[in-house]
Structures are given as structure tokens and as C-alpha cells.
Chains A and B, each alone.
Chain A
Amino acid sequence: MINSKFTAQVTPGIQLLSDDQKGGIHSATLEVLRRTGVDVLVPGVRDMLQKAGCWVDGGRVRIPPNLIEWAIRAAPSRVVLCNQDGNPAMELEGRKGYYGTGSDTPFVIDAYTGQRRKAVLEDVANVAKLVDALEHIDFLMCMGIASDVTESISDLYHFREMVHNTSKPIIYTAWDRANLEAIVEMAEAVAGGPEALQRSPFMALYSEPISPLSHAKESCEKLLFLAEKGLPVVYTPGMMIGATAPVTIAGALVQANAEALSGLLITQLAREGTPVIGAGGILFMDMAKGAISYAAPEFMLAMTAFSEMYHYYKLPIFSFSGCSDAKVFDQQASAEGAIWMMLTALGGGNLIHDVGYIESGLTASYQQIVAMNEVAALVKRFMGGIEINDENIALEAIDRVGPGGNFVGDEHTFQHFRRNWVPELFDRSSREEWEVNGELTLGDNAAKKVRQVFENHQAKPVDESVSEALEAVIQKAEERNK
């Protein structure tokens, strides 16, 4: 967790927008929703919006400003996600940040062969173990999409493996409403019933509108079901600057905000207080390659500004980190990943996902996850800021040691040195030592750690009865899909 508000004088942070500019983005967003509106592709949801005062014209819904402003106030400003035992694990609010993996990449880099191959169910189990073992990765998304199970219900299998292999909070995906219902049934079995799950949820759905400005059938159905259940949902645009959004960052930001806030309105009308984590993805289209980028500075700017808007609204923020366009875990993956890690912390994102994505979301790298865990530790140290007080200003020590002395053996050093960060994988040894140890790179060290976890880590096992309940839901779904 990145939380530094208690002892530091100032929480490190960056600012891109002035208050006036935030007001400007907000007004423009309201204007898009009033003038252009959004497509809502489920008649029942359109009716609900119309009753609340929206203007409906075919599939198009135009929204008066007051409704959006009501939804911003109605939605909870904090969402707490628990671990599977029901103990609080993440408080999504303010500038508290938590890192987690991404979901649904068709490919992974094999931890043993280093080859890119299709993801299988065992990868989901393995990434869950890895997240369970890593200190600075706080939540889990399934990472790979399993190619070796019934395709139409692979999401159910993902969920089962995640539950079995970590007790950290899970952000899951669901292909459609029927599968979502099945997953929630599984989650209720884990938590001990619907009410226990609602009170202390250990999971949230990841779902998306379809940019530009469309709430698709599946999107709406998922939102409605979770609102009914009072369960948390991430609703975040997955737009591409220049392709499904204006090419200018400000324009993309306004459109993304309009998509996110109109989605928020749907959830709050369906059930006031539905926990929603918003903001999200303003990805970038590279116009030279016609390819999507997960690490463009334009994406970083847009994401940082989007977080600022959500701080302004006091709403929980979904964000990105540790991801890259590189094809393998290499220098580019490290550089892009690390810049993101620091940036999202400074920008104050809450639920920060996609750690370990490479090849712009098509491949997952275990090494990248482990390397970013190391970066997260460094970032947390930085985010602690500088504590300025008499003891830390160290006048006594400076005077004691005086000109020409040294601090290494001083009592003040002994008292305080443990506050400083000690890397686990980043190498600070002498060249000789490094050579003797086999000249290992970060990639080598990360790969070693990945294999160590796969082979040795055991997550807390789930009860036999829960395990059976999960199995029963999957079997039912298999029958339904025959």
C-alpha cells in the first residue's frame, strides 16, 4: 500500500491540472452528455434513465447535468476490498494505491523455456500463487486466458484457480451475465453467503463501456446485476487516443469521463450506493504502426489527469502500471514498467492494474511481475516522503561527528538505518562479487524468483466444502454449455 499521509509533511504527488482546468473538463463532460449523449443498448436501462429525467431518442440517451452530479455524490467515495477471510485488504480512496496484475492475455512467456505460448489454466494458478507470495502486489487479475478449458466458461475456471491460489482480493472478468451470475455464486460460497459477500467483498468485476460513448448490452447487464447484488464493479473505458477517442489528450479525457460517469449514473440509479471504481483506460494508438500502446507518454498524461478528475470527484480510481509494449521481458519492459509504477503512485491511483502486461496486453510476463514487485518496494519508500522533525534533522549527530568524522558508526545511524530500503533483486554488489555469483541480470534474478515461488509457495487452502461448491457451479455451467 502507498500511504504516506500520517508522518510525512507532504505526500509526494504530481499535478497536471489546475482547479479551473478540472472545472473546465467537468463542464465539457456534462456538455457531451447533454448534447451528444451515449448509446445505451438495453431498453430497460434506457427506461430507467428516462424516468430519472434523461432524454431518450432511439438508443441514444442524453443526460441532464444535475443527474451526473447527483450520481457523483451518491456513489461511495471509498470502496473496501477484503481478503478471502473477510479482513480488510485494500481501502480504495484518496491517494491510497494498490498494485495488481492484468487479465485475459492470450499468451504468456513460459517461466521455464522463455518461449511465448498460449496461456493455460495452470498459468492462472501460477500467477495467483505469485501474487500471493509477492509482498508489494496487492491484488490479482487472472493474467492469462486459459486456452485448455471450455472457452465459453473459461472465466469460471479462472475464478476457481484464483480462489484456490491466493487469499488476496481478486478483480475478475466475466464473458456475459450468465457467467457473471455463476461467478458471484462461487464468491458467495467463499464468503459464506450473499450478505457476508456484500459486507466484506473480496472481489470486484472488471467491465467496460464500448468507446466511443456506448454502453453495450453486456456492459449494461453486468452493471445491473452487480447493482442488484450491491457488489463492487470496476467500470472503465478502454479507449484509444486517435482511434476510438479524439487524438488530443484533453478531448480523450472528456470523452472517457463522459463514458465513466454515465456508467456511474446507471449503477447509482439501479441501486444508490453501488460500489464503483471508475476512471480508467485512455490508451494510445501509434499512428506509425497502427498499433495500440500501453506505455505511451500520452497514455500516461491522460491517465494522470483522469486520476486528478476522480480525486476532484472523491471517487475511487482504477489505474494502470507496470505494463509495456515490449515483446519479452527486456530493457524496454523494465523501463516502461518502472516509469508507470512511479507515475501512478505520484498520480494517486487506487486500484492499479496491468502489472506484468507486455506486448500491449497480448502477452503476460512473470518476470515483469516480479521485477515490478521490486520497483513497487522502491516506489513505496519514495512515497513515504521525507519526515522533517528534530530527530531526523540530526543536529546532534552532525555536531557529534563534526568535520572530517564519519557517520557509519554513529548511534544516530544505528537508530535509523533500517528505515531505508534494501533491494532484493536490484544488484548493488561490487563487480567482483557479481562476477563470482554468475553475472546475473535482473531478468535472471526475476526468473529464478518466479520458479522458486511456483515450486515452493503454498497459498492458504480453501475449505473442502467451498471447493466442492465451486466445482458444482462449474459443472452446472458445463452442462448448460453442452
Chain B
Amino acid sequence: MSDILSKLSTAIIEGDFASTPEMAETALEEGLGPDEILNKGLMPGMDHVGVEFKAGNMFVPEVLRSARSMQAAMDIIRPLLAETGIEPAGKIVIGTVKGDLHDIGKNLVGMMCEGAGFEIIDLGKDIEPDAFVEAVKEHSPKILGMSALLTTTMRAMEQTIRALEETGIRDSVKIMIGGAPVTQAFSDQIGADGYAANAASASDIAKKFTP
């Protein structure tokens, strides 16, 4: 493997977000393609981070820095990827549903998915069904993610799915849901495409949705 690619991987693992953009540029100057930089430099770094996090050897703030380092490099290569017609992992619109102010779980999910190469559009918390619909229209994401931690707000996930159906764009996105009281059974019941119990499996599912 080229020296600069392994350096990029290492920088991502170490969370050196100040250096990764420059490294990405150097790689381009050396004549490497953006897809090669993504698949052989950035992704191996993040994959390693994912494995180490699951094993309990890396911690949330470290993973967050790695994801930031990855995104910093992505900012350099994303335009070129688009030019060469290669699609990056895609966008995820994510938010905590209407009436619900719990956002830490949602933030962690966003962070892990970002680390998996997705571009995250975080709508925040207390998000109305219509606002999710608008965001799907505006950003055409591959995945819509909803988080809810309250029994009283879980229903808003269903309402959002219905709103997407009514607008005729339900099938344009995969819908992933999660949050402490949410279960697979509930996900099936309201017609979501997937449920994740934690941030790591959320990013696994997101990857499965976008082969």
C-alpha cells in the first residue's frame, strides 16, 4: 500500500483531524484517485476504529475525533468523488422526534454513521413529522433516522412514516429507528426498515441499507 494511504489510516485512528485534509491533498497530488483514497486510506482507518470501539479499547471521545478526521479528509475528496461518478456512502437525515428532547443517543448514532462515511444532516430534537418530510425532500438522503426515548413520543415515529407515505416519498428512503424503549417489534409494527439497539449496530445497519 502507498505510504500516504497508510499514513491517512493512522491519522484517522489517532484522531489527527488537523492533518488529514493535507494528507488527502498529498495523496491526490501523488496521483491517487479519490475512490482509492476513500477505500484504501479512510475506510480502513475507520473500520479499525469501529472494531476497537466494539472491543472496548477505544472510547467515545476518541471515536468522535476519528470521525471528525475522516470527515475533514472527505471534505477534500467529496467533490472529486462526485465528478468521477462514484457515490460516497450517502446522506443520513437524523433527528429526535416531536415532543422528545433526548438527543445524546441520536448524536452518538450520527457520529458512528459519520465515521462509516455517511454525511449526516442532523435536524436536532423535537422535530415535527413535516420537518422530517421537508428535510427528506430537500436532501434526498439514503436513510432517515429517528430517535425517541419516551413512550409518549414513540408514536411520532409512526406519524412521520405516515406523513412520508402521504407525500409519496416513503420509498425513496430507508427508515431506521432507535432509542431506549424502542424494540424490533415496534419497528416492524410501524413499518420502519430497521431498528438498532446502539450506535455501533446503527452504523452496521446503515451500511447494509446502502450496499
Q: Do A290 and B108 touch across chains, with their CB atoms under 8 A apart?
A: yes
Tell me whether B180 is interfacial, beta carbon within 8 Å. yes
Tell me whether A240 is interfacial, beta carbon within 8 Å. yes
Q: Please report the C-alpha to C-alpha distance between residue A289 and residue B59 in the assembled complex, in whole angstroms.
A: 8
Residues of A within 8 A of B79 (CB): none
Tell me whether B181 is interfacial, beta carbon within 8 Å. yes
Write the A229-245 contact mask toward B (1 if CB under 8 angstroms, else 0).
00000000000101110
Residues of A within 8 A of B151 (CB): 106, 145, 147, 151, 154
Tell me whether B190 is interfacial, beta carbon within 8 Å. no
Q: Do B152 and A244 touch across chains, with their CB atoms under 8 A apart?
A: no
Residues of B within 8 A of A244 (CB): 104
Residues of A within 8 A of B108 (CB): 290
Tell me whether A454 is interfacial, beta carbon within 8 Å. no
Q: Do B152 and A152 touch across chains, with their CB atoms under 8 A apart?
A: yes
Tell me whether A453 is interfacial, beta carbon within 8 Å. no
Q: Please report the C-alpha to C-alpha distance between residue A243 and residue B108 in the assembled complex, in whole angstroms.
A: 10
**Which listed residue, A147, A151, A152, A240, touches B104 by the CB 8 Å rule?**
A240
The interface size of chain B toward A, counting residues with CB under 8 Å, comes to 14
**Which listed residue, A152, A290, A362, touches B180 by the CB 8 Å rule?**
A362
Q: Do A151 and B155 touch across chains, with their CB atoms under 8 A apart?
A: yes
B31-61: which residues lie under 8 A (CB-CB) from chain A? 56, 59-61
Tell me whether B73 is interfacial, beta carbon within 8 Å. no
B139-178: which residues lie under 8 A (CB-CB) from chain A? 151-152, 155
Residues of B within 8 A of A154 (CB): 151-152
Q: Which of A151, A243, A290, A362 has the most CB of B within 10 A?
A: A290
Shortest distance between the CB of A340 and any CB in chain B (Å): 21
Shortest distance between the CB of B61 and any CB in chain A (Å): 6
Q: Do B180 and A288 touch across chains, with their CB atoms under 8 A apart?
A: no
Q: Do B155 and A243 touch across chains, with their CB atoms under 8 A apart?
A: no
Residues of A within 8 A of B152 (CB): 151-152, 154, 175
Q: Please report the C-alpha to C-alpha distance between residue A175 and residue B153 in the assembled complex, in whole angstroms.
A: 11
Q: Do B101 and A210 touch across chains, with their CB atoms under 8 A apart?
A: yes
CB nearest to A216 among chain B residues: B101
A143-191: which residues lie under 8 A (CB-CB) from chain B? 145, 147, 151-152, 154, 175
Tell me whether A287 is interfacial, beta carbon within 8 Å. yes
Residues of B within 8 A of A145 (CB): 151
Tell me whether B199 is interfacial, beta carbon within 8 Å. yes
Known contacts A106-B151, A285-B60; A243 and B104 CB within 8 A of each other: yes
**Which listed residue, A106, A240, A285, touches B181 by the CB 8 Å rule?**
A106
Residues of A within 8 A of B59 (CB): 287-288
CB nearest to A151 among chain B residues: B152
Q: Which of A210, A216, A288 has the most CB of B within 10 A?
A: A288
Q: Please report the C-alpha to C-alpha distance between residue A362 and residue B59 in the assembled complex, in whole angstroms.
A: 23
Shortest distance between the CB of A151 and any CB in chain B (Å): 5
Shortest distance between the CB of B89 and any CB in chain A (Å): 21
Tell me whether B198 is interfacial, beta carbon within 8 Å. yes
Shortest distance between the CB of A221 and any CB in chain B (Å): 14
Shortest distance between the CB of B193 and any CB in chain A (Å): 23
Q: Do B101 and A285 touch across chains, with their CB atoms under 8 A apart?
A: no
Residues of B within 8 A of A152 (CB): 152
Residues of A within 8 A of B198 (CB): 289-290
Q: Please report the C-alpha to C-alpha distance between residue A106 and residue B152 in the assembled complex, in whole angstroms.
A: 11
B171-199: which residues lie under 8 A (CB-CB) from chain A? 180-181, 198-199
Q: Do A287 and B61 touch across chains, with their CB atoms under 8 A apart?
A: yes
Residues of B within 8 A of A175 (CB): 152
CB nearest to B104 among chain A residues: A243
Q: Please report the C-alpha to C-alpha distance between residue A216 and residue B104 in the assembled complex, in whole angstroms.
A: 17
Q: Please report the C-alpha to C-alpha distance between residue A217 and residue B180 in the assembled complex, in whole angstroms.
A: 23
Write the A175-219 contact mask toward B (1 if CB under 8 angstroms, else 0).
100000000000000000000000000000000001000001000
Chain A residues with a Cβ under 8 A of chain B: 106, 145, 147, 151-152, 154, 175, 210, 216, 240, 242-244, 285, 287-290, 362
Q: Which 9 A-B pairs have the closest CB atoms?
A: A287-B59, A106-B181, A287-B60, A243-B104, A290-B108, A288-B56, A290-B60, A210-B101, A151-B152
Of the A-B pairs whose beta carbons lie under 8 Å apart in the complex, a sample of 26, sorted by A's number, is: A106-B151, A106-B181, A145-B151, A147-B151, A151-B151, A151-B155, A154-B151, A154-B152, A175-B152, A240-B104, A242-B60, A242-B61, A244-B104, A285-B60, A285-B104, A287-B59, A287-B60, A287-B61, A288-B59, A288-B60, A289-B198, A290-B60, A290-B108, A290-B199, A362-B180, A362-B181
Give 17 new A-B contacts, CB below 8 A, not counting A151-B151, A210-B101, A243-B104.
Answer: A106-B151, A147-B151, A151-B155, A154-B151, A154-B152, A175-B152, A216-B101, A240-B104, A242-B60, A242-B61, A244-B104, A287-B60, A288-B56, A289-B198, A290-B60, A290-B108, A290-B199
